[in-house]
Amino acid sequence: MALSRFLAAVVACVIVASTPVLANEVQDINQQFRKGDLAGALDRANRFLAKNPKDAQARFLKGLILADQGKTNDAITVFTGLTEDYPELPEPYNNLAVLYASQSKYEAAKNALEMAIRTHPSYATAHENLGDIYAKMASLAYDKALALDSKNAAAQTKLALIQDMIGGQPRKPAAARPAAAVTPKPAATVTRAAVAEPASAKPAATNPDVEAAVARWAQAWSSRDVDSYLAAYASDYAADGMTRANWVAQRRARITAPQRIEVQVSDLKIERQGNTARATFRQAYRSDRLNSTATKTLELALQNNEWRIVGETSR
């Protein structure tokens, strides 16, 4: 499940219009946050909120920063305050659900998502996340059933189907070990829209060399192998207006900070024209700090007989 990154347009309807100066300040804080300066962005947000304590956008942004820093309880406090002061906004409820799910508090996550849908019935993200929560809760219930009755074939089948749907690994048949040793499987983190398709159903990539380059990039990221990850990019690549040195420092910090990372690529489609190619796919990112899914496009160029990433966008 992914944190909603920005407030919906409905914010403008419930908040007294900010002066251009205040709006620009919040935008500057957001840019600082997006460039990876979490500590600096949080300090700046706190100073801004000291003077403008009711500013919903700044408070929402502070919640995102705290979540990215791994300060889950502090982020929950911020988003809870937003739901109390602006109960008509669905995004704070959604983000509360994501944070509760990261703590395996699935009932609280379900309640938050139901509130998001109640305030905004057409909020597709909340409906999708609620489906993931129901699937996770069902998985735990079937797992508990198997812990109590290891020979329950129906529960085994249902659990396997649920785990396949949410991207988990099928449970080993209970009969393979003594019943006394059967224990519930640790709760896997719920991710938004991370439905895995059978390998046979995945569209075939149109160029094996480009496909291999994308696979190496994802593997290096998952292995937290920063040098191999950076080697997947062109030597002059940088993003978000940063210098190459600052971008490298940001990526190194973000890859080494989590204790574990898993990046899954699915629905890969490749278009090639001569020495350039475009790879579009569904990316599921999971770590001990953050879970998200996105549609990503990598622009690649053939440099020294190796495919290197020269552009990267996600939505």
Which residues sit opposite 291 in a β-bridge?
286
pLDDT at 6 over 60: no
Average pLDDT value for residue range 144-162: 73
Cα–Cα distance for residue pair 101/146, rounded to 1 Å: 23
pLDDT range class, residue 117, cuts 50, 70, 90: very high
Q: What is the mean pLDDT of the chain?
A: 78
pLDDT range class, residue 161, cuts 50, 70, 90: low
pLDDT range class, residue 167, cuts 50, 70, 90: low
Q: Which residue has the tokens 């030597």?
A: 235
pLDDT at 139 over 60: yes
How high is the pLDDT of residue 177? 31
Phi-psi region of 186 (alpha: psi -120 to 50; beta: other; left: phi over 0): beta
Delimiting residues of CATH 1.25.40.10 domain(s) in the chain: 11-122
How high is the pLDDT of residue 225? 92
pLDDT at 223 over 50: yes
Q: Which of 212, 310, 210, 215 is nearest to 264 (CA)?
A: 215
Helices and strands counted in the chain (H then E): 12, 4
How high is the pLDDT of residue 197? 32
How high is the pLDDT of residue 297? 94
pLDDT tens for residues 72-87? 999 999 999 999 999 8
199-314: CATH class:
alpha beta
Higher pLDDT: 20 or 92? It is 92
Average pLDDT value for residue range 238-244: 81
Give the DSSP per-residue string, 56-92.
Answer: HHHHHHHHHHHHHTT-HHHHHHHHHHHHHH-TT-HHH
Quote the pTM value.
0.49
pLDDT tens for residues 85-98? 998 888 899 999 99
Fold of 11-122: 1.25.40
pLDDT at 124 over 70: yes
Delimiting residues of CATH 3.10.450.50 domain(s) in the chain: 199-314
How high is the pLDDT of residue 296? 92
Which of 90-99, 127-136, 187-196, 296-305 is least confident?
187-196
How high is the pLDDT of residue 292? 82
Polymer length in residues for the chain: 315
How high is the pLDDT of residue 209? 87
Higher pLDDT: 197 or 281? It is 281
Average pLDDT value for residue range 199-219: 71
CB 268 within 8 A of CB 205: yes
pLDDT tens for residues 30-49? 888 888 889 999 999 999 99
How high is the pLDDT of residue 3? 55
